[in-house]
C-alpha cells in the first residue's frame, strides 16, 4: 500500500510538522491489499478515524497496468465501492465494500486483473483554523484471480544492468500473478551487503517489466553477486552479474 501526505493550504498543521500546534489526520486503512478469488464477488476494507475530528473520505477505482517501466492507472467501473463517500466519527470505523462487476478473468493462462483504490481524506474548512494541513492518500492494490487457472503465481526474470554511472535492476514477470518485491539486498562475492530497498521496492504485474535505478555506487555491484529479496512474503535469492545495457 502506498501512503503519502498531501499538503493543502487550509486548516491545521498535522502529521510531519513536529512541534507545531496541529490537529493531526486520523485516517487509517486495513487491510493493505485485497485479493478476490474467482468465486468471490466482494470483500471489504475498514477505514478508521484515530483523530479527534470528524473525518471525510472518498474512494475511487482505477484499473492498474504497467508499461514502459511505469504504473498506469485508468479510471474503472469494473469494481463498485459502497459507500464511495463517507464520514467517520473520532474513534470509530466504517466498512467499505469492494464489489466485483462481471466475470473474473478465465482460462489456464489468464493473468489476474489488478486495480488500485485511491482513498483520499477530504479536508474540511473550520473557523479559526489556519495554516498548512496534511491530509492522507492511500493507494490499495486489489487483485482478481482468474477462473480455471491451475495456479496463480509470478515467474520472474532478473537482470542487473550498468547504465552510465548507475546500476539498474530490471525485473520481468511472465507468470499469471503479481510479484510484490521488498527488503532487497545485494551481496557481492566477498560477502559485503548493499541494501537496495528497506521495505517495499515495488510490484511487477503479469506480462510487465519494471526497472529501478539504484542510488548506490555502481562499483558496489561489480562482478557476480547474489540478490536477496522478499517476494510476496517469501524469501528468494537470485545470482546476477552486472552487464552493460544492450544498445
pLDDT digits (tens, 9 = 90+) for 29-80: 999 999 999 999 999 999 999 999 999 999 999 999 999 999 999 999 999 9
End-to-end CA distance of the chain: 35
Asked whether the predicted pLDDT for residue 153 surpasses 90, the reply is yes
Asked whether the predicted pLDDT for residue 177 surpasses 90, the reply is yes
Residues in the chain: 247
Between 18 and 149, residue with greater pLDDT: 149
Q: What pLDDT does residue 107 have?
A: 86
Between 5 and 218, residue with greater pLDDT: 218
Count of other CB atoms within 10 angstroms of residue 94? 16
Do the bridges between strand 34-36 and strand 133-144 make them parallel or antiparallel, or are there none, so unpaired? parallel
Q: In the chain, what percentage of residues exceed pLDDT 70?
A: 84
d(Cα 38, Cα 203) in Å, to the nearest integer? Answer: 22
Asked whether the predicted pLDDT for residue 222 surpasses 80, the reply is yes
d(Cα 81, Cα 96) in Å, to the nearest integer? Answer: 7
Bridge partner list, 239: 226
Cell numbers 494541513 correspond to what residue?
A: 133
Q: What pLDDT does residue 101 have?
A: 95
Choose the weakest-confidence range: 8-22, 58-72, 75-89: 8-22
Asked whether the predicted pLDDT for residue 95 surpasses 70, the reply is yes
**Mean of the pLDDT values across residues 119-142?**
80
Q: What pLDDT does residue 19 have?
A: 31
Q: What pLDDT does residue 2 have?
A: 47
Q: What pLDDT does residue 150 have?
A: 78
Count of other CB atoms within 10 angstroms of residue 233? 7
Between 112 and 149, residue with greater pLDDT: 112
**Mean of the pLDDT values across residues 207-211?**
97
Confidence of residue 123 (pLDDT cuts 50, 70, 90): confident
- Angle, alpha carbons 166-170-176 (nearest 5°): 165
Confidence of residue 10 (pLDDT cuts 50, 70, 90): very low
Bridge partner list, 59: 119
Amino acid at each position: 500500500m502506498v501512503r503519502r501526505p498531501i499538503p493543502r493550504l487550509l486548516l491545521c498543521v498535522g502529521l510531519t510538522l513536529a512541534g507545531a500546534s496541529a490537529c493531526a489526520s486520523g485516517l487509517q486503512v486495513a487491510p493493505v491489499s485485497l485479493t478476490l478469488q474467482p468465486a468471490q464477488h466482494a470483500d471489504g476494507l475498514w477505514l478508521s478515524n484515530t483523530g479527534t475530528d470528524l473525518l471525510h473520505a472518498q474512494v475511487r477505482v482505477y484499473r492498474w497496468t504497467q508499461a514502459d517501466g511505469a504504473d498506469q492507472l485508468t479510471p474503472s467501473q469494473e469494481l463498485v465501492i459502497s459507500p464511495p463517500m463517507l464520514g467517520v466519527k473520532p474513534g470509530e470505523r466504517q466498512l467499505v465494500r469492494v464489489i466485483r462487476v462481471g466475470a473474473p478473468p478465465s482460462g489456464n493462462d489468464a493473468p489476474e486483473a489488478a486495480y488500485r483504490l485511491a482513498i483520499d481524506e477530504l479536508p474540511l474548512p473550520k473557523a479559526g483554523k489556519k495554516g498548512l494541513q496534511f491530509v492522507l492518500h492511500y493507494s490499495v492494490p486489489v487483485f482478481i484471480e482468474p477462473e480455471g487457472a491451475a495456479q496463480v503465481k509470478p515467474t520472474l526474470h532478473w537482470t542487473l544492468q550498468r547504465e552510465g554511472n548507475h546500476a539498474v535492476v530490471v525485473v520481468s514477470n511472465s507468470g499469471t500473478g503479481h510479484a510484490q518485491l521488498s527488503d532487497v539486498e545485494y551481496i557481492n562475492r566477498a560477502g559485503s551487503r548493499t541494501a537496495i530497498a528497506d521495505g517495499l521496492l515495488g510490484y511487477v504485474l503479469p506480462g510487465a517489466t519494471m526497472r529501478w535505478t539504484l542510488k548506490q555506487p555502481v562499483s558496489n555491484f561489480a562482478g557476480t553477486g547474489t540478490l536477496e529479496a522478499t517476494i510476496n512474503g517469501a524469501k528468494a535469492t537470485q545470482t546476477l552479474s552486472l552487464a552493460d545495457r544492450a544498445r
